[in-house]
Structure 1
Amino acid sequence: MECIVHFEVEYKQKTKELRGLIFLDKGKTPTEQDFLSMFGDMGYKLRLADQENLVFLPTEPSAEYQKVRIRRLDTGEENYQTDRELKSIISNLLPKDTRPI
């Protein structure tokens, strides 16, 4: 099964949105090592810094990029993913004290 990894690479002046490909057995999800191997094949030497948000930082201090963040995974199957940014915006806009009308 193919898994398309949509990610962004943050540089000092800009952010690039890119994609990578991981081959998996049916029903499996990518592991940290799968991501690191994919990024290594693309020339990015990284380490996982934030497992919850899938943020990777460079292992070499001379790297031109500052961080890599995985935005979403596409396995070709229809699935629901929570948009964390939208959820955060909505939770900040809704009143904290809710009561029935």
Structure 2
Amino acid sequence: MKKEHIVHFKIIHKTGTKQLRGLIFLEENQEPTLQDFEQCLRDCGHDVRIENKEQFIFKAYKPGEEYLIDVLEDYEDEHTRDRYVESLAKTFINDPGKLF
């Protein structure tokens, strides 16, 4: 069964950077490969070639411009809600309408 794997990447232009996301479908317990990341970036509309294999950095091209794309494999969004922690916290909150 295929599972979704969200890929976070940073586009680095001369004028600034921007963080975006892409999606890869992988078999369960499968880790994404360099080729998976490359295909994801191509699917997102970037003409890429690998620049640094160890750090998953790609060089991208469009007419009149070259830019870098850094795949952020260990990306952690500080604004992402942890539903497990929230659920656990709710078990400790005393419901005033409930008597023990």
Q: Is the 8 A contact 2:51 2:59 kept in 1?
A: yes
- The match for 1:18 is 20
Q: TM-score, normalised by structure 2?
A: 0.64
Aligned pair count reads 73
Q: Report the Cα distance in structure 2 between the residues aligned to 1:43 and 1:8, rounded to whole angstroms.
A: 14
- The match for 1:64 is 65
Q: Report the Cα distance in structure 2 between the residues aligned to 1:73 and 1:38, rounded to whole angstroms.
A: 17
Compare 27-36 and 5-14 and name the one that shifted more.
27-36
Q: Which has the larger radius of gyration?
A: 2
Q: Report the Cα distance in structure 1 between the residues aligned to 2:46 and 2:74, rounded to whole angstroms.
A: 18
Identity across matched positions, percent: 36
Q: Report the Cα distance in structure 2 between the residues aligned to 1:28 and 1:15, rounded to whole angstroms.
A: 30
The CA RMSD measured in Å over matched residues stands at 1.9
Per-residue CA distance 1:16-68 (angstroms, 9 max, x = gap): 0001110000011111221111111111011111111110012x463535100
Q: TM-score, normalised by structure 1?
A: 0.64
| Structure 2 residue matching 1:52: 3-state secondary structure | coil
Q: Report the Cα distance in structure 2 between the residues aligned to 1:27 and 1:63, rounded to whole angstroms.
A: 41
Q: Report the Cα distance in structure 2 between the residues aligned to 1:3 and 1:38, rounded to whole angstroms.
A: 11
Q: Which runs of 5+ in 2 are unaligned?
A: 76-100
- The match for 1:31 is 33
- The match for 1:51 is 53
Relative contact order higher in (CA < 8 Å, ≥ 6 apart): 1
CA distance 1:40–1:63, change in 2 (3 Å): farther
